[in-house]
Structure 1
Amino acid sequence: MAKPQRPGKGESVLCLPRDYTVVDTETTGLSTESCCLIEVSALRVREGRVAAEFSTLIRPPWREVQKNGQWQQGYVDDFIQGLTGITDEMLEGAPLPEEALPQVEDFLGRDLLLGHNVGFDTAFLYDSFQKYLGRPLGNNSLDQLRLARKLLPQLPHHRLGDVAAALGVPYEGAHRALADCWITYGCYEKLRALALSQGTEEEFLQRFEKKKPAKPRYPGVPGHPFYQKTLVLTGSLDTSQNREAVLRAGGKVGKEVAAGVDFVAIPAPGEKPLPGKEGGPSILPQGAFYRLLGQSQTP
């Protein structure tokens, strides 16, 4: 399935800020197309300290959900209620999206949004802003999950609970948006300190840069018979000197005869290449190999 296009959506950035807003959401499911926000919480952080907090439930549409193994009308199904503790009764008196989202927008402002797997939260917020406010969520975001994977590579998983346990951050109350914000905040501040204990911010961020493919050791010689060809050298022809000569010409040296091999050089007399069987690689007797290689035959 193609990813939804979200024009005007902020960018995912990498940095170690001191000023940011932690955001977390609870939803009726995983799909932004068929599921809805039921809770949004946020912490405004300045100079590494929480300056303000915000939290609101949001009443989703009344719909058919699974309860006690049966389909019936409600706001949340048994799974979401068990995961979050949010019940239909709690949502009954909650503000509607068009009432709650302007408050969310005001609190977030233009801040950088920090979250654990924050793309999930920003996707739901973006679509909800568009639907109910008629404008996108344009804030840039920082995904703590990326930082955790880089700084805690020893962990088999990097779920928020895994990261919190590794860093000694309390995990009580998880799966409610405000509690998750506080857990994320605690984890981020420890991850930031860990990153800076290993070097500067710039040095840490360089670890995320994609390594450029290594340049070929030899540029090759366009027009050479072995340029961009693969050869297998056999017997006495398989020497380091011959392998390097093939590489300098721009060819590749294969380990065995297989698909994609163009020539097989054999230590047998002969000055002319021999056609391979059934479209296979051409056979190069010793003399033909050295003649095409452009060097004198070694004794």
Structure 2
Amino acid sequence: MNFVAIDFETASGQRHSAVSLALVVVRDDKIVDQFYTLLKPDTHFSARNSQIHGIYEKDVVDAPTFKNIWPTIAPFFTEDKLVVAHNATFDVSVLKACLDYYDLPDAHFQVLDTLRTSRKLMPDLPNHKLNTVSASLDISLKNHHNALADAVACAEILIRQGQLFGTAPLKQAVRYK
């Protein structure tokens, strides 16, 4: 499988408040590249969000904005690309909100949600949170809620699901954005 796994962390409940972003590139079922950056949002920081991911306003003072890094990552979000996330509804909504906020063109791509595939393929788990699914597949998830650690775990989940269940049920779960 070839895809890019993404994960965002946000400063607050506002979807355009991305404070970190990770991309993990997979080619032929192997992680071949990783990208991670802190982001400086134009919003306040929620103490609750910072407590979850450990990123505070002081950490992003010199970080680029989403608008600054978009030209670098935009090639991963085209119609012929598969973007994977665990709870893709959240991550895709953050991407869309950031594009809207910075008045950037919409991105159109294929998306697959490992939360949805886990619910379908692994119904006996007590829940389908990233850490639970990772543990059930013997995938190490170090530093949960770090965007890079979460994106790596998401990539490894999809690779493992493809090995265990085949790619046919995964292909059925692909949607277009």
Same topology, TM > 0.5: yes
Counterpart position of 2:144:
174
Deviations 1:118-140 (A, max 9, x none): 12111111121133243112111
Q: What amino acid maps onto 2:61 in structure 1?
A: E
TM-score w.r.t. length of structure 1: 0.53
Which structure features the higher share of helix residues? Answer: 2
Q: Does 1:77 align with 2:54?
A: no
TM-score, scaled to structure 2: 0.87
Alignment counterpart, residue 31 of structure 2, candidates 36, 39, 50: 50
For residues 58-101 of structure 1, give each alpha carbon's deviation from its aligned partner in whole angstroms, at most 9, with x where no partner exists.
101253xxxxxxxxxxxx23222221111222111111232122
1:93 to 62, 69, 77: 62
Residue 180 of structure 1: how far off its partner (Å)? 0.5
User: 2:102 is paired with a residue of what secondary structure?
Assistant: helix
Give the SS at the match of 1:156.
Answer: coil
Q: State the one-letter code of the partner of 2:21.
A: V
RMSD across aligned C-alpha pairs, in angstroms? 2.0
What's the % identity of the aligned pairs?
Answer: 25
Q: In the TM superposition, what are the counterparts of 1:72-151 in structure 2 within 5 Å?
A: 76-106=45-75, 108-110=76-78, 111-151=81-121
Looking at structure 2, the residues matched to 124 and 100 of structure 1 have their Cα atoms a distance apart, in angstroms, of: 15
Deviation at 1:171, TM superposition (A): 1.5
Matches within 5 A, 1:1-299: 18-32=1-15, 35-63=16-44, 76-106=45-75, 108-110=76-78, 111-196=81-166, 201-202=167-168, 204=169
Of structures 1 and 2, the one with the larger relative CO (CA 8 A, separation 6+) is 2
**Structure 1 residues not aligned, in runs of 5+:** 1-17, 64-75, 209-299
- The runs of at least 4 consecutive aligned structure 1 residues that moved more than 4 Å come to 205-208
* Greater Rg by CA: 1
- Structure 2's unaligned 5+ residue stretches are none
Aligned residue pairs, count: 171
